[in-house]
Structure 1
């Protein structure tokens, strides 16, 4: 990186970081002020500004606040108040935001339930929420019915968007309530430390955990994104991500709804309609997840994909192998990549757009955003401690687990760790006695590396990185190498057990078009990856299963491995004898498992 570019980037970081710190610090100066107050103030100061665009509807701030007041009064009529929880399960639409804003107006919490869940995982999420009432979109009534046998307590279910037999009619109940401002003393005694939302982890490796989001965290996330994007009331944020997750439902929403701007809500993500929507609603911002960007790149060219007013795309997981192509094809002036988690206290933003990086913390801001990378042993899946018993910081270029110092000091606004609904799950994420006796740090569970200039780069999720032939293999790096090959639309890389061998062999589940050339793919892999990182098995699937936030699911793939008796998809073996990918059948599978092939 040249000298003048480094100076330019330093100035960009200085301005953005100071703006962010200023706005975040202001949150703690008014400890009784919540996001509900923000909406109420905007309803008074900017009543005609459009808060929400949805399909053919426009909802102003005045209308948003009035609708939320009806929800608040409905909740009070059910005896719901401070400390209580209402579960919310509904597809993307304005009523989703209206519901939880109304619920937090009276000091209660909203548990945002993943709309893709059914049966056991759905029952689990409802059980740990502690809710007695469920606000349910009528379109999800069948999904809810699959979970009722697993509920630990009966729920009063309120259907909205249509009548459902056996459920209360929420729309009728709301129509009986007033939209007038709530009494001034409604939130007396409520502070930033009180809980506002429960948002669930994606559940890629097990049942979801309910992360606590107090009002302070909600405002910190919203304000941090708004400041990072330098949003104003003229901005319009396009949201095609699910509202039950923090990326779409808190960060994206708060980017504009904290400053009088607009959100444009899409019911469900559509790659073909994405930029047509951006053009139609004159969006200036959109929130992305890395796989969303890959889906967009895999679509055929659309008439309006460059005829939009987008000035900034903000999100996380945009991989370096597609970053420049994505920005160029869709004419995106700026990308603001970030790193963070719903419940975490490690927050990074790549303000200057350095391709592949998730952000940097300038030296002068280190005390305000205390993040470290510590050495990690992949085989034992534990941090490495020195002879003195303390953790060892990584050298530049060395991958390690990212950790954030836990602090309630207002001068370190992202230092909070509020944990989960279950205390035992909270304790698992805390690393103690890290650099000195008594200190406590949040464990991200992610491997990052930092270069000599201080830029952080995501390496892999702990548990996704595996060892083969005595070397550590990053699934993310292998995925990058495979995904750029012509004919491959998606790739999901993981490690599988092979009898008689140490570690795990690489396997890739891919979605490909009809023109995929396996011989050329093998040559590409040999060129791009060291021998130990080259996948031994290729599974060609019609699609890759993802979570609602586009994260690849791997648990079932790892469990099935390369067993042709369990997998109906075609599997190919990178044969050391034939020096090419050959179809895997039962006979070949048995030879591999018996050790006939030296791998």
Structure 2
């Protein structure tokens, strides 16, 4: 009965209301536990508070600047009940950029906590009222609404097309864009993932990815809500605390993005790593090598999926998906790999007997959805809308190639394409190969301008704690033993770091890496020609190299 009621809602509000009579434990955070009913009652109280505080005529938006505390899912549920939308605010933003994000959403209420108050003190936020959750003033406000029931207090009609999320997507240039997600899309995504992963009411979803990001809400919180499953919150991701949390909360499901899996694999192995209740991890960017290592060490299957942040395209993994592929297009999507310059479909990928892609230059293109797209637009950003939807097609901004059977392979972002000696390469493909090196805990590949024309390959490597100092001969031997590593894929520059620079969502901070290039404070190794051995990059090398860039009129390309 619980599952039937939970999965039928056409809106998030209906899914929230279905938990009103559910008195099972449903939320865990540190030493706190709450039932589904208590969480729903808290959401109803916050919906009533929102209805009273939001000025008449204001957009029904509330900005949420919080870590993963119980307040975050309660405000998500409150917004759904009230016909409002939560705008997740990234706490790594600072100063005018942070103020811009809040004001861009036109939110008139900002919900935050004392730990984040220093971020907003001194910011010019006209017309924005701040609520600080861990204060007596806030508690007193909520006490006035303790008797509220779901659906009693709204600020706008609650309909399938009502906005419920505004979540920022980052890019390599320009300010972050706030993607719109409606109640119908979020509820539909939750129901779809329930079916795909077989989520049960007795499951516990461990939410350790930041909830201001779409991944945690759409792929973790929404299916838990749709199935009537519980959620366990981690304030911020911690690789060292991951397994202890999973055992403590009896968690069965989690999501990940970016380098989270690499960080977990970099922790000290223990003989009882297999002793955990997890059934599945769902996310992106783990890579086939790390997914296999994770399954071997923890006994947990990782399911790599793909869905553009804005909802415009998705790929579904099936049992017959070959190694390295993401899957096929989700039924109903007309996905194609297209050459952006010609608007024509790229030919199928060709592989040699060892699985090496032979025609990457012509097979790799941008993934587009030529059919009906679920993309719901960006908030107050028609230029970004027009860039995303062109000629009636949804352009994902991601590079893929497709084999003859229709399986799709991720090849990176469009701004992660390199052109080396007139050949187009995808950074993600090179990263996949370099990640096989056992000494590396994390790998990032990106382009630096060639002094004459095109690009050169640069890689940043973070070594495992137990790894010895970098051995150029050992690394060269590793490169020569990789059957699918083409000669133009070999990095010209190697930057060695103790820890990979990442964004707030654990994705590699490629913009910072590209801008620094070989002019960085960390040790850099390089080879001047493809056949030369790697050696340390010295100040004298830098002086000579910059002179070559100046002679060719390309020095201004560095640091972009």
Counterparts in 2 of 1:569-588, with a 5 A limit?
569-576=522-529, 579-588=532-541
Q: Which residue in the other structure is 2:233 paired with? A: 265
Number of equivalent positions: 528
SS for the counterpart of 1:491 is strand
Residue 482 (1) aligns with residue 431 (2): no
Q: Which residue in the other structure is 2:558 paired with? A: none
Distance 1:304 1:443 in 2: 45
Structure 1 contact 223–258 (Cα < 8 Å) conserved: yes
CA offsets, 1:182-227, max 9 Å, x none? 4558488432112111001134544211101111221122222222
Distance 1:431 1:473 in 2: 25
Structure 1 contact 323–356 (Cα < 8 Å) conserved: no
Counterparts in 2 of 1:1-150, with a 5 A limit?
33-44=10-21, 47-79=22-54, 83-145=59-121, 148-149=123-124
Distance 2:385 2:83 in 1: 23
Q: Which residue in the other structure is 1:558 paired with? A: 514
Distance 1:488 1:243 in 2: 29
188-197 or 456-465, which moves further after superposition?
188-197
Distance 1:556 1:41 in 2: 45
Counterparts in 2 of 1:313-324, with a 5 A limit?
313-324=281-292
SS for the counterpart of 2:62 is strand
Q: Which residue in the other structure is 2:405 paired with? A: 453
Q: Which residue in the other structure is 2:360 paired with? A: none
Deviation (angstroms), 1:425: 1.2
CA RMSD of aligned residues (A): 2.6
Deviation (angstroms), 1:246: 1.3
CA offsets, 1:407-456, max 9 Å, x none? 3xxxxxxx321110112211110120xxxxxxx11110011112222221
Deviation (angstroms), 1:172: 2.4
Q: Which residue in the other structure is 2:243 paired with? A: 275
Deviation (angstroms), 1:136: 1.0
Q: Which residue in the other structure is 2:345 paired with? A: 392
Distance 2:96 2:314 in 1: 33
Distance 1:517 1:287 in 2: 35
SS for the counterpart of 1:496 is strand
Structure 1 contact 349–358 (Cα < 8 Å) conserved: yes
Distance 1:494 1:294 in 2: 18
Q: Which residue in the other structure is 1:524 paired with? A: 478
* Structure 1 counterpart of 2:341, from 383, 397, 408: 383
CA offsets, 1:223-253, max 9 Å, x none? 2222211111011111111111111122201
Residue 156 (1) aligns with residue 124 (2): no
| Structure 2: tracts of 5 or more residues without a match | 351-362, 553-560
SS for the counterpart of 1:130 is coil
* Structure 2 counterpart of 1:402, from 334, 352, 367: 367
Structure 1 contact 506–535 (Cα < 8 Å) conserved: yes
Distance 1:249 1:539 in 2: 35
CA offsets, 1:300-339, max 9 Å, x none? 113542111222221122211222121111101x332210
Residue 430 (1) aligns with residue 382 (2): no
SS for the counterpart of 1:562 is coil
CA offsets, 1:153-183, max 9 Å, x none? 34211111137xxxxx323211222233145
TM-score by length of 1: 0.83
Structure 1 contact 50–261 (Cα < 8 Å) conserved: no
Deviation (angstroms), 1:140: 0.5
Q: Classify 1:456/1:394 alpha carbon distance in 2 versus 1 (closer, same or farther; 3 Å).
A: same
Q: Which residue in the other structure is 1:16 paired with? A: none
Q: Classify 1:417/1:157 alpha carbon distance in 2 versus 1 (closer, same or farther; 3 Å).
A: same
Structure 1 contact 240–266 (Cα < 8 Å) conserved: yes
Residue 507 (1) aligns with residue 472 (2): no
CA offsets, 1:438-479, max 9 Å, x none? xx1111001111222222111111010110111112211222
Structure 1 contact 85–131 (Cα < 8 Å) conserved: yes
SS for the counterpart of 1:425 is helix
Residue 345 (1) aligns with residue 315 (2): no
CA offsets, 1:392-412, max 9 Å, x none? 3543452221111353xxxxx
SS for the counterpart of 1:135 is strand
Deviation (angstroms), 1:288: 2.0
CA offsets, 1:256-305, max 9 Å, x none? 21121111111111212212221222112121225111111111113542
Structure 2 contact 80–158 (Cα < 8 Å) conserved: no
Distance 1:337 1:525 in 2: 26
Structure 2 contact 17–150 (Cα < 8 Å) conserved: no
TM-score by length of 2: 0.88
